[in-house]
């Protein structure tokens, strides 16, 4: 029977929480997405912690916190150790997003859920795939093929296809069918009839998406209006996702209008982000790669945008109206929060939200309508310790160090006592006269332990503390010292090495300032104070989320028309709405599981494989229809040498079958066809087509969505007995194949 | 694995069908180097690999033998990398032939392709009629070229293909093509050695059934990269130290970037050389720098790490040189100039002026095509012919240090041993080198299961793959797995090379196709009584059921459970049925009947009586006809005992039972012939039984 598939949401169903789903395909457990929110709420990860160790592979879809934020934490704390699969941009931009998150958090709190090293470790072993690369899983996943495909929401963002035995499980969340400046639209509609489709209902209730041109115009008008009256514009953005589209819009507009207002892109990793993005042209829209191929203009060579990686640079910037894109989009941390607090009370300023803030964050609060007049904000800051505190800190540190040293020495002592006498003849580099050492151990041994220098631990076999001493004995023969010819071979690789060590850093391109910030080990502390911010600046929200709207989602799902559908990631109403819609119009198996509720979406499709014998195939005449060919077969089951079922031609005459008309008639196309044949044809009311004078043709029965997914078509042709009738009937027949 | 579903059949097996024949024909690069172009055909799918020109020829003579194929039949054209011997006839092929398939290359290849060919058009000094294409053709071709990323699987008309890193130049790819489970690997130019900026060629995870592999290096073994680099820098260092000039003729792109990386680094490490200029005389390369800076993802980790600090392709010691007019030839210098073969252009101009001074040196940094001057001077002749036709002594030192990034024998043989393809086709190599390679490879694969072929241009290699066709029966048809002898009937849907069998009413569930029912309703004027129609229909058709229409309460008739006849009004009746051939026929006869009633009532009554009477006569007539037809076919036919017909042909006797159609005869051929003939006769004289249709 079919491949067994179970879906268990771990987070992000019936609400807008981060996404994380467990999909098990024939016992192989995929964790698809591993998201967290900007508040880093550990309670969200509880379901994940229960299954983390059973995960066999992790698939990441988008490079933002909601889709991969929990990866470092899960790897470090929850025992997640499976290989991770992602596209190159998701890997790289995801890494930068996490750096930015960490550094923003670290600035304002004693953030200890994960460290930079944890991030590095988590991302180190990501297996990078390209779009439509069919990757055959090794080992336990033998027979499973995974492939990322264009999702259209963020750079590198993917919808995942998991295939086993010809059955597809498709995971598509946050896709966008509309082409944007830097991204192609999704290819979701190229999949038809997958066994399972897991998708989000996030935008199911969202319908009035404005046309791109109009939206861009409003966006730029709003910004320029505020700039011209001397106000500043803040766009709270994500680190490396949707912000790229905004940058391109601004950049394009600035060069067209010749604006001189500065644009700043301020995150802890902004310059690395853009450097990487510049080399990701393969992943971007056709128009971007085409313009590069013909004129070698890299769209992300930003001429009007200044990349900043710390706030001081912004403060030092010349005064005057400016546009600042800063992370985080939630205003919970990062530069955006600081800037918001600074700018909020000037009515000339504008805070422009380009996406719906995460639930329960400051951004969400400000997006409510009517917007709040005041918001209470806890501002925290990391300040270096000074004065008494510093002294206290140092004392504390010293005390800790001493205690540790003491403990270490005690342990050492134990060890030495235990090993005493048993191995003092072992061949350590310190070859010392054993007779004398015995005395030392006996009398002064422990007394010296305390005076050791930090970092130097004497080997356990040594009898007294002593710096390592290596006797460099050389061998001699009658010609002098015996030499090793290898030592004198010219090192050809020197030239390489000269270049290599300029590379340095593992991840290559962390900004220097960032690096210094990371390495900054000066004692510091976090101080918080609560303040009330008067919100007198303008607050505007525009949709630059880059997700398909409700109507497109519905038609997209109808087009894909999966055999089974699983809905996730949306508030209850939206989920319910889409579920009802799909049940009525698309497919009878729609599931919307709760957290940790496992739904079994194993297809109840029956199938078996047969071999088509040469004899049979030589008698089959295929008829071409679109990109497939059809034929009727009557056959008898036989066996091949390898004991496989094979279809042979019927020995006797086949019993006649009911004739089948195969084809998909589009009334509009047919109209055109008829008029090309010289038949007078026009639409009459009710979807009917009036052909000639008397004959009418219409589709009847439940039409449902387009695409013919809902069932066989029913076409009614009626008219009086006349020549026209038969002529039109013949034309109609010509649109079908009779099998 | 690839070979599990396919089994290779040898040529001598007679049962193979045309569809299983796989043909590989080199149209260029068959036992030669240059104009790579390999045609492949299997199961009606046609693929062309590469589309190059021969750098040693000009005009039409440089093209591959496109006449051998019909360009309009090519489904897919795959370009491995941007070198002119692999890509330069593409504008011609796209714009001047009937080709209308799809073209694929990698992103980097496409970006450089345009620059390189535009430059090629400008540089090549040929007359206008010899021009194969102009800049416009190149620009037009750009719109038709599609891009493919490494490892990305693309499917066109059922042909699946994807590409691997080839390591030869930036963006170079090896293509793996999968047609109905048969896999073909075309390596293009490849190198398994990682260098300064490129990754080594990958080892595909699937073993191909056929491997079309380059053999440029033949049985040679390359020196290690470090030794080559050292020789290179040593020659340059000593030459310039003695006040000589160094000429490096190189292709503008590809290996030149590698050499520049070496030189720039060497100069940086040797401050004493810093006053000696290095010129790179290629405005083209400067334009391509943006491409090199962008597609770092296609390069190795080393360069990507370096890129983090500063762009390694922004050279500190290398100066651009646009033309010989800007060049003041004073004192020692290093000049890297195009074209690589010293055919014409700047490299030739410099060569002509420097070749007679023995202080100077010329370094040939890569493989040179037969027929070019660069190839000639490798053998260090005493004299060379200059561009102006004069001869001059060749005194300058000539060094051949290959950086060409073609796999050498060690790489080729390990590559093939890892893959173990049952068929190896060698292309892109000189005939002699290729034969040596073939001989040596034979010793590596002694078990005889590997065929190694070296076709010449236009020589086809034929192979036979008998791949089983597997179908998946799904849905209702598959509810019960059938046993041997059971019958399976349904719609067979073929998409690409996958087959599915399903029940007709599930067609829309499992495929994008859908079925349709066409309901027809036709109204006929009829003024008579409805009862007359009923009466007449009952005379002709076996099954006529009366009922009343539920909505209107009017009488209705159902004929053969197919066609409903209804009295719509006093003057009209309507016929309604859903289309299929038999129903259409029934309805036609009803229409005829109704029309006849209204036209000539009395005559039909007479006919009707006749019809009843003639039942018996009809039977007799049928027998007569059968008899007459059999006589015309077999000659001697007699009515034997127990009603059987006795037929004699050439002394063989057969008895035919007219009722059952059974034939008895000792001669099986005759028996079969009579049986078939009788069946045909019977189906001709006896009407189709209606029951057969439901």
* DSSP string covering A161-173: EEEETTEEEEEE-
For the segment B15-43, the average pLDDT, to the nearest whole number, is 84
Contacts of B294 in chain A (CB under 8 A): 278-279, 281, 292, 298
* pLDDT of A433 above 50: no
CA distance B138 to B122: 12
Q: How many whole angstroms separate alpha carbon A700 and alpha carbon A716?
A: 7
Chain A from 645 to 664: CB within 8 A of any B CB: 645, 647, 650, 654-664
pLDDT confidence bin for B694, thresholds 50/70/90: very low
Task: Give the number of A-B residue pairs with CB atoms closer than 8 Å.
Answer: 307
Q: How far is B287 from chain A (nearest CA, A)?
A: 8
Helix residue ranges per DSSP H, A65-152: 65-68, 71-77, 88-108, 116-124
Nearest CA in chain B to A564: B509
* DSSP bridge pairs for B94: none
- Among the partner residues B294, B504, B521, nearest to A298 by beta-carbon distance: B294
pLDDT score recorded for residue A443: 45
What span, in angstroms and rounded, lies between the C-alpha atoms of A614 and A647? Answer: 9
pLDDT band at B17 (very low <50, low <70, confident <90, very high): low
Element (H, E) at A312: helix A311-316
Q: A591: pLDDT confidence band, cut at 50, 70 and 90?
A: very high
Mutate to test the interface with A, among B286, B507, B516 (most CBs of A within 10 A): B516
What value does the mean pLDDT take over residues A82-108?
Answer: 91
pTM tops 0.90, yes or no: no
Q: Which residues of B touch A629 (CB under 8 A)?
A: 493-495
Residues 512-571 of A with CB under 8 A from B: 563
| Strands A695-700 and A689-691, bridge-based pairing | antiparallel
| Contacts (Cβ under 8 Å, ≥6 apart) of A693 | A680, A724
Q: How confident is the model at residue B325 (pLDDT cuts 50, 70, 90)?
A: confident
A613 CA: distance to closest CA in chain B (Å):
7
Give the three-class secondary structure for B578: strand
Average pLDDT of B103-118? 90
Q: How many percent of chain A have pLDDT more than 90?
A: 30
Restricting to A residues 240-279, those with a Cβ less than 8 Å away from any Cβ of B are 278-279
Chain A residue closest to B505 (CA)? A712
Q: Which residue in A has a C-alpha nearest to residue B475's C-alpha?
A: A606
Q: Do B473 and A609 touch (CB under 8 A)?
A: yes
Question: Pick the residue with more confidence: A162 or A490?
Answer: A162
Q: What is the chain B residue with the closest CA to A697?
A: B520
Pairing label, strands B210-214, B182-186: parallel
pLDDT at B43 over 70: yes
Is B149 in Cβ contact with A130 (below 8 Å)?
A: yes
Contacts of A697 in chain B (CB under 8 A): none
For B356, how many CA atoms within 13 A lie in the half-sphere containing its CB?
A: 11
**Nearest residue on chain A to B297, alpha-carbon basis:** A279
Asked if A635 reaches chain B (Cβ–Cβ under 8 Å), the answer is: yes
| Model confidence at A416: pLDDT above 70 | no
Rounded to whole angstroms, the Cα distance separating A509 from B31 reads 47
Contact by Cβ (8 Å): B277, B334: yes
Separation between Cα atoms, residue B246 and residue B448, nearest integer Å: 50
Pick from A503, A625, A632: CB nearest B306? A503
Answer yes or no: are the C-beta atoms of B515 and B558 closer than 8 Å.
no
The answer to whether residue A718 neighbours chain B at the CB level (below 8 Å) is: yes
CA geometry: angle B598, B602, B606, nearest 5 deg: 125
A664 to chain B, closest Cα gap in Å:
6
Alpha helices (H) in A229-269, listed in sequence order: 243-257
Provide, rounded to the nearest whole percent, the portion of chain B with pLDDT above 90: 27
Q: Name the residue among B124, B117, B116 with its Cα closest to residue B95.
A: B117
Contacts 24+ apart (CB under 8 A), A668-677: A670/A697, A670/A731, A670/A732, A670/A735, A673/A731, A673/A735, A674/A728, A674/A731, A677/A731
Mean per-residue pLDDT, A87-109:
90
Whether the pLDDT of residue B667 is over 50: the answer is: yes
Contact B516 A733 (CB under 8 A): no
- Choose the weakest-confidence range: A707-721, B52-66, B346-360: A707-721
**ipTM for the whole predicted complex goes beyond 0.90:** no
3-state class percentages of chain B: helix first, strand second, coil last, to nearest 5: 35, 25, 35
pLDDT at B87: 92
DSSP reduced 3-state for B693: helix
H or E stretch at A294: helix A286-295
Q: Bigger pLDDT: B535 or A52?
A: A52
* Interface with A, mutate which of B500, B522, B690 (most A CBs under 10 A): B522
Inspect the interface and report whether the beta carbons of A282 and B519 lie closer than 8 Å: no
Calculate how close chain B gets to A289, using CA atoms only, in Å.
Answer: 8
Distance CA A3, CA A26 (A): 6
Q: Is A736 on the interface with B (CB under 8 A)?
A: yes
Q: Which residue from A minimizes the CA distance to B469?
A: A612
Q: How far is A373 from chain B (nearest CA, A)?
A: 46
Mutate to test the interface with B, among A282, A689, A726 (most CBs of B within 10 A): A282
Res B128: pLDDT: 64
The answer to whether residue A131 neighbours chain B at the CB level (below 8 Å) is yes
Distances (CA, A) of B526 to B554, B565, B569, B576: 15, 12, 9, 16
Q: Where are the alpha helices (DSSP H) in A109-211?
A: 116-124
With beta carbons under 8 A apart, name residues in chain B contacting A727. Answer: none
Dist. CA B25–CA A29, nearest whole Å? 47
Is A630 a residue whose pLDDT tops 90? no
Question: Would you place residue B125 in the very low, low, confident or very high pLDDT band (cuts 50, 70, 90)?
Answer: low
Q: What is the dihedral of CA A429, A433, A434, A436, to 10 degrees?
A: -130
Of B324 and A573, which is predicted with more confidence? A573
Confidence of residue B313 (pLDDT cuts 50, 70, 90): confident
* Cβ pair B483:A607 closer than 8 A: no
In angstroms, the separation between the Cα of residue A65 and the nearest Cα of chain B is 24
Interface test with B, best of A497, A509, A647, A710 (most B CBs within 10 A): A647
Confidence at residue B323, expressed as pLDDT on a 0 to 100 scale: 76
User: Which of B515, B521, B565 to mutate: most A Cβ within 10 Å?
Assistant: B515
User: Cα distance from B524 to chain A (closest Cα, Å)?
Assistant: 6
Q: Is A614 on the interface with B (CB under 8 A)?
A: yes
Nearest CA in chain B to A725: B522
CB contact under 8 A, A504 and B482: no
**Residues of B annotated catalytic, as ranges:** 406
More confident residue, A513 or B147: B147
CA dihedral A597, A598, A601, A606 (to 10 degrees): -140
Among the residue ranges A503-507, B84-88, B367-371, the one predicted with the least confidence is A503-507
Residue A141 at interface with chain B, using a CB cutoff of 8 Å: no
Is A628 within 8 Å of B511 when comparing Cβ atoms? yes
Nearest residue of chain A to residue B231 (CA atoms): A492
Alpha helices by DSSP H, listed for B488-570, are 507-510, 530-540
- Residues A660, B312: C-beta atoms closer than 8 Å: no
- Residue A2 in this model has a pLDDT that exceeds 70: no
- Band of residue B693 on the pLDDT scale cut at 50, 70, 90: very low
Highest mean pLDDT among A633-637, B267-271, B547-551: B267-271
Residues of B with CB below 8 A from A729's CB? 520, 579
Does the structure show a pLDDT above 60 at A726?
yes
């Amino acid at each position: 029977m079919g491949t067994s598939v179970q879906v268990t949401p771990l987070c992000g169903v019936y609400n807008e929480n981060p996404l994380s789903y467990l999909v098990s395909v024939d016992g192989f457990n995929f964790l698809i997405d591993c998201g967290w929110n900007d508040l880093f709420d550990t309670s969200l990860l509880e379901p994940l912690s229960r299954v983390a160790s059973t995960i066999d592979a992790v698939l990441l879809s988008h490079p933002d916190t909601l889709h991969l934020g929990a990866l470092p934490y899960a790897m470090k704390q929850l025992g997640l150790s499976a290989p991770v699969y992602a596209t190159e941009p998701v890997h790289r931009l995801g890494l930068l997003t996490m750096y930015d998150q960490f550094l923003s958090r670290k600035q304002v709190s004693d953030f200890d859920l994960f460290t930079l090293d944890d991030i590095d470790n988590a991302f180190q072993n990501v297996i990078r795939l390209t779009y439509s690369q069919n990757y055959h899983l090794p080992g336990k996943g033998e027979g499973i093929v995974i492939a990322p495909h264009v999702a259209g929401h963020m750079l590198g963002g993917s919808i995942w296809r998991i295939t086993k035995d010809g059955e597809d499980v498709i995971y598509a969340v946050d896709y966008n069918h509309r082409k944007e400046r830097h991204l192609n639209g999704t290819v979701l509609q190229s999949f038809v009839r997958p066994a399972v489709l897991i998708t989000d209902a996030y935008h199911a209730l969202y319908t009035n998406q404005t046309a791109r041109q109009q939206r861009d115009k409003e966006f730029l008008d709003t910004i320029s209006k505020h700039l011209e009256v001397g106000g500043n514009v803040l766009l709270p953005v994500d680190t490396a996702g949707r912000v790229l589209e905004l940058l391109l819009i601004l950049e394009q507009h600035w060069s067209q209008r010749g604006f001189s207002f500065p644009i700043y892109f301020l995150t802890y990793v902004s310059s690395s982000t853009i450097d990487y993005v510049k080399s990701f042209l393969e992943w971007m829209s056709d128009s971007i790669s085409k313009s590069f191929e013909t004129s070698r203009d890299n769209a992300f060579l930003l001429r009007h945008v200044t990349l900043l990686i710390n706030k001081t640079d912004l403060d030092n910037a010349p005064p005057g109206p400016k546009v600042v894109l800063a992370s985080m989009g939630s205003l919970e941390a990062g530069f955006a929060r600081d800037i918001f607090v600074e700018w909020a009370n000037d009515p000339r300023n504008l805070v422009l939200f380009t996406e719906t803030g995460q639930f329960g964050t400051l951004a969400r609060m400000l997006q409510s309508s009517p917007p709040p007049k005041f918001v209470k904000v806890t501002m925290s800051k990391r300040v270096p310790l000074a004065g008494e505190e510093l002294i206290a800190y140092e004392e504390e540190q010293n005390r800790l160090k001493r205690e540790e040293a003491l403990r270490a020495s005690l342990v050492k002592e134990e060890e030495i006592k235990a090993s005493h006498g048993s191995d003092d003849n072992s061949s350590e580099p310190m070859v010392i006269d054993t007779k004398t050492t015995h005395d030392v151990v006996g009398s002064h041994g422990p007394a010296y332990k305390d005076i050791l220098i930090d970092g130097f631990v004497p080997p356990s076999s040594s009898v007294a503390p002593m710096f390592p001493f290596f006797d460099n004995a050389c061998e001699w023969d009658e010609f002098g010292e015996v030499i090793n010819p290898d030592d004198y071979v010219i090192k050809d690789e020197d030239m390489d090495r000269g270049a290599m060590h300029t590379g340095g850093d593992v991840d290559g391109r962390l900004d220097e300032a960032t690096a210094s910030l990371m390495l900054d080990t000066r004692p510091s502390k976090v101080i918080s104070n609560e303040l009330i911010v008067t919100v007198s600046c303008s607050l505007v929200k525009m949709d630059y989320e880059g997700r398909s709207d409700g109507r497109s989602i519905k038609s997209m799902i109808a087009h894909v028309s999966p055999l089974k559908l699983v809905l996730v990631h949306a508030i209850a109403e939206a989920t319910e709405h889409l579920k009802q819609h799909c049940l009525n119009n698309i497919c009878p198996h729609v599931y919307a599981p709760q957290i940790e509720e496992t739904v079994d979406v194993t297809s109840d499709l029956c199938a078996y494989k047969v071999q088509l014998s040469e004899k049979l195939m030589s008698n089959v005449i295929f008829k071409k229809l679109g990109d497939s060919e059809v034929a009727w077969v009557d056959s008898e089951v036989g066996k091949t040498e390898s004991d496989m079922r094979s279809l042979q031609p019927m020995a006797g005459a086949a019993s006649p079958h009911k004739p089948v008309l195969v084809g998909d008639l589009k009334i509009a196309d047919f109209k055109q066809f008829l008029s090309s044949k010289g038949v007078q044809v026009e639409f009459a009311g009710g979807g009917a087509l009036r052909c000639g004078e008397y004959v009418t043709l219409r589709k009847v029965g439940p039409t449902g969505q387009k695409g013919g997914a809902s069932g066989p078509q029913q076409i009614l042709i009626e008219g009086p007995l006349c020549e026209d009738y038969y002529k039109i009937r013949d034309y109609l027949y010509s649109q079908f194949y009779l099998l | 694995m690839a070979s599990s579903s396919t089994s290779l059949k040898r040529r001598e097996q007679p049962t193979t069908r045309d569809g299983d024949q796989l043909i590989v024909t080199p149209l260029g690069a068959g036992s030669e180097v240059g104009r790579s172009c390999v045609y492949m055909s299997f199961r009606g799918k046609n693929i062309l690999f590469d589309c190059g020109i021969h750098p040693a020829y000009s005009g039409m003579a440089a093209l591959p033998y496109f006449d051998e194929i019909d360009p309009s039949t090519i489904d897919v054209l795959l370009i491995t990398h941007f070198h002119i011997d692999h890509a330069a006839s593409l504008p011609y092929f796209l714009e001047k032939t009937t080709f209308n398939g799809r073209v694929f290359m990698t992103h980097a290849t496409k970006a450089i392709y345009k620059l390189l060919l535009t430059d090629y058009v400008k540089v090549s000094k040929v007359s206008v009629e010899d021009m194969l294409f102009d800049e416009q053709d190149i620009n037009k071709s750009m719109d038709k070229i599609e891009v493919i990323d490494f490892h990305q699987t693309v499917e066109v008309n059922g042909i699946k293909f994807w590409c691997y890193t080839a390591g030869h130049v930036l963006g170079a790819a090896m293509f793996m093509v999968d047609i109905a489970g048969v896999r073909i690997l075309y390596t293009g130019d490849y190198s398994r050695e990682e260098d300064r900026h490129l990754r080594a060629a990958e080892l595909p995870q699937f073993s191909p059934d056929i491997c079309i592999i380059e053999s440029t290096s033949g049985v040679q073994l390359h020196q290690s990269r470090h030794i080559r680099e050292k020789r290179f820098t040593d020659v340059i260092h000593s030459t310039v130290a003695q006040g000589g000039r160094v000429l490096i003729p190189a292709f503008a792109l590809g290996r030149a970037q590698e050499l520049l990386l070496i030189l720039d680094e060497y100069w940086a490490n040797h401050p004493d050389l810093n006053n000696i200029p290095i010129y790179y005389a290629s405005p083209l390369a400067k334009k391509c720098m943006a491409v090199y800076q962008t597609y770092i993802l296609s390069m190795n980790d080393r360069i990507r790490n370096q890129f983090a600090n500063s762009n390694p392709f922004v050279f500190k010691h290398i100066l651009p040189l646009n033309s010989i007019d800007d060049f003041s030839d004073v004192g020692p210098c290093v000049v890297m100039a195009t074209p690589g073969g010293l055919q014409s252009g700047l490299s030739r101009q410099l060569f002509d002026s420097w070749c007679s001074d023995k202080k100077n040196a010329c370094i040939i940094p890569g493989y040179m095509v037969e027929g070019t001057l660069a190839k000639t001077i490798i053998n260090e002749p005493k004299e060379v012919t200059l561009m102006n036709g004069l001869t001059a002594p060749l005194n300058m030192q000539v060094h051949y240090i290959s950086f060409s990034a073609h796999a050498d024998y060690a790489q080729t043989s390990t590559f093939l041993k890892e893959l173990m393809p049952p068929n190896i086709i060698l292309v892109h190599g000189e005939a002699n080198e290729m034969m040596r390679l073939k001989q040596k490879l034979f010793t590596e694969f002694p078990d005889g299961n590997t065929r190694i072929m070296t076709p010449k241009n236009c020589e086809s290699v034929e192979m036979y793959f008998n791949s089983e066709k597997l179908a998946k029966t799904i849905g209702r048809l598959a509810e019960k797995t059938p046993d041997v002898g059971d019958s399976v009937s349904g719609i067979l849907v073929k998409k690409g090379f996958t087959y599915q069998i399903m029940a007709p009413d599930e067609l829309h569930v499992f495929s994008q196709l859908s079925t349709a029912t066409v309901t027809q309703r036709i109204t006929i004027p009829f003024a008579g009584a409805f009862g007359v129609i009923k009466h007449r229909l009952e005379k002709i058709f076996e099954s006529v059921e009366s009922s009343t229409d539920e909505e209107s309460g009017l009488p209705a008739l159902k004929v053969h459970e197919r066609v409903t006849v209804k009295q719509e009004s006093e003057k009209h009746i309507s016929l309604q049925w859903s289309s299929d051939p038999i129903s259409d026929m029934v309805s036609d006869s009803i229409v005829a009947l109704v029309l006849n009633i209204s036209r000539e009532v009395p005559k039909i009554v007479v006919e009707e009586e006749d019809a009843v009477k003639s039942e018996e006569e009809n039977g007799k007539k049928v027998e007569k006809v059968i008899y007459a037809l059999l006589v015309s076919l077999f000659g001697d036919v007699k009515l034997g005992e127990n009603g059987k017909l006795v037929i004699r042909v050439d002394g063989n006797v057969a008895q035919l039972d007219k009722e059952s159609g059974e034939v008895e005869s000792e001669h099986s051929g005759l028996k079969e012939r009579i049986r078939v003939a009788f069946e045909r006769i019977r189906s001709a004289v006896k009407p189709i039984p209606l029951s057969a249709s439901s």
